[in-house]
Amino acid sequence: MNSTLLLDGTLDADIDHAAELLRAGQLVAFPTETVYGLGADAFSAEAVAAVYRAKERPADNPLIVHLANSAAMERCALVNDAARRLASMFMPGPLTLVLPALDAVPEIVRAGLFTVALRVPDHSVARALIERSGPLVAPSANRSGRPSPTRAEHVMSDLGGRIAAVLDGGPCRVGIESTVLDLSGDEPLLLRPGIVSREEIESVLGLPVRLLAGGDDEAARRSPGTRHRHYAPAIPVRWISSLPTATIEGAMVLMAEPVVELPGVVVHPLDAATLFARFREAEMLGLSEILIIADPDRLPAGLVDRLRRATGDHLP
- Contacts with ligand TXA by CB under 6 A lie at 32, 34-35, 37, 61-64, 94, 96, 98, 110, 113, 115-117, 119, 121, 138-140, 177-178, 180, 191-192, 223-225
Q: Which of ligand TXA, Mg ion, none binds 149 (CB below 5-8 Å, type-dependent)?
A: none
Q: Indicate which of ligand TXA, Mg ion, none lies near residue 133 (CB less than 5 to 8 Å, by partner kind).
A: none
Which residue has the closest beta carbon to ligand TXA? 225
**Helix, strand, coil share of the chain (percent; to 5):** 35, 20, 45
> Judged by CB under 5 A, does residue 32 bind Mg ion?
no
Closer by beta carbon to ligand TXA, 61 or else 157: 61
From ligand TXA, Mg ion, none, which one binds at residue 214 (CB under 5 to 8 Å depending on kind)?
A: none
Q: Which residue is nearest to Mg ion (CB)?
A: 140
CA distances from 167 to 155, 157, 301, 309 (A): 10, 14, 30, 28
Residues 27 and 44: beta-carbon distance below 8 Å: no
Residue 289, strand partner residues: 251
d(CA 138, CA 28) in angstroms, rounded, equals 9
Torsion angle in degrees (nearest 10) through CA of 229, 230, 234, 240 = -100
Q: Who contacts 24 (Cβ-Cβ below 8 Å, separation ≥6)?
A: none
- Containing H/E element for 66? strand 64-66
In the bound state with Mg ion, the residue whose beta carbon lies nearer, of 9 and 62, is: 62
Complex with ligand TXA: residue 48 or 291, whichever CB lies closer:
48
Number of neighbours of residue 132 by Cβ within 10 angstroms: 15
User: Which H or E run includes 13?
Assistant: helix 12-23
d(CA 118, CA 70): 9
Give every strand in the sheet of 266-269, ordered side by side: 237-240, 289-293, 251-255, 266-269
Contacted entry of ligand TXA, Mg ion, none for residue 169, CB cut-off 5 to 8 Å set by kind? none
116 touches which of ligand TXA, Mg ion, none (CB within 5 to 8 A by kind)?
ligand TXA
> At its nearest, how many Å lie between ligand TXA and the CB of residue 245?
38
Give the nearest distance from C-beta 246 to ligand TXA in angstroms: 36
Give residues 118-177 in contact with Mg ion (rule: CB under 5 A): 140
CB atoms within 10 A of CB 99: 21
CB of 309 to Mg ion, least distance (A): 11
Name which of Mg ion, ligand TXA, none residue 152 binds, using a CB cut-off of 5 to 8 Å depending on partner kind. Answer: none
Per-residue contact string for residues 48-67; x = within reach of Mg ion by CB under 5 A: --------------------
> From the list Mg ion, ligand TXA, none, which binds 28 (C-beta under 5 to 8 Å, kind-based)?
none
Residue 2 has φ and ψ, to the nearest 5°, of: -120, -30
Nearer to ligand TXA, 14 or 33 (CB): 33
Please state the closest distance from residue 176 (CB atom) to ligand TXA, in A: 8
- Contact residues toward Mg ion (CB under 5 A) are 140
